[in-house]
Amino acid sequence: MAGTATGWDTLEVIQTQAQIWASLAIPGAGAELTLYTDGTPDATANPSAKHLGHTAEGASLLVKPSYNEFSVDESPAPFKRNVGGMEIAIAANLVQIEDFDLAELLLPGVATQSAPSGKKKLTFGLKAVTYTSIAIIWPRETDSTKFGAFHIYRAANDEGLAAEFGRTKMAGAPVSFKGHAITSRATADQYGAYWIQT
């Protein structure tokens, strides 16, 4: 007889800065986001990739299904559940809000960028909503040449562009890129992926 191995492993604790990248290429069936050896998106495989810059307090990810529960009169506890909703998101407080590519990305369906002489400009009005493929990428604790990624294939910011100005604070914009399904993909791979290099 023997005991069972415990799962203590501090190297599986993530405590590092992460980078947020948007406008990534969508991977095909069974594939993943392609990284270069330095952990940034491979520039050729992700020709439109955009780094979202500094954050005020790091980044966060969320995958949160909600469930419908089914009960019968004969049991006080539910006897079955199915998935009734799905929330998947990447959030942060972005501080480089004079980046107009970023500002346009934060306002899907609303902002249009132009470049009048000597200026950068956004106009606000209605247009088709576009989505972005976005990921958080971080170096692994066990080996800084290996990386982890949390990738949402099709997302749009829910928080708009809101910032406060003041002499003693940074005008950061809280953002939350909420994932939407790509219904024409395989059922188990319609929202995104979380993976680590080993």
Partner 1 sequence: MTTRSDAKEATGGAGAAQPHRAGFSKEGKAYPGVDPDTGERKALTYEGAQKEFGPKTGAELYHAVALAGGFGRVEGNPDLSLVGLDGEPREKVEKILANAEKE
Task: Using CB under 8 A, list all residues that contact partner 1.
Answer: 23-34, 42, 44-48, 128-133, 153-154, 182-186, 190
Q: How far is the CB of 33 from partner 1 (least distance, A)?
A: 7
CB of 15 to partner 1, least distance (A): 29
The whole-angstrom separation of Cα 99 and Cα 149 is 24
User: Smallest gap, in angstroms, from Cβ of residue 153 to partner 1?
Assistant: 8
Smaller CB separation from partner 1, 30 or 118: 30
In the complex with partner 1, which residue's Cβ is closer, 56 or 182?
Answer: 182
Tell me how far, at minimum, the Cβ of 151 lies from partner 1, in Å.
Answer: 11
DSSP for 50-109 reads EE---EEEEEEEEEEEEEEEE--TT-SS--EEEEEEEEEEEEEEE--TT-HHHHHHTSTT
Q: Which is nearer to partner 1, 19 or 46 (CB)?
A: 46
174 phi/psi in degrees, rounded to 5: -70, 130
Which among 74, 89, 51 has a CA at the least distance from the CA of 175? 89
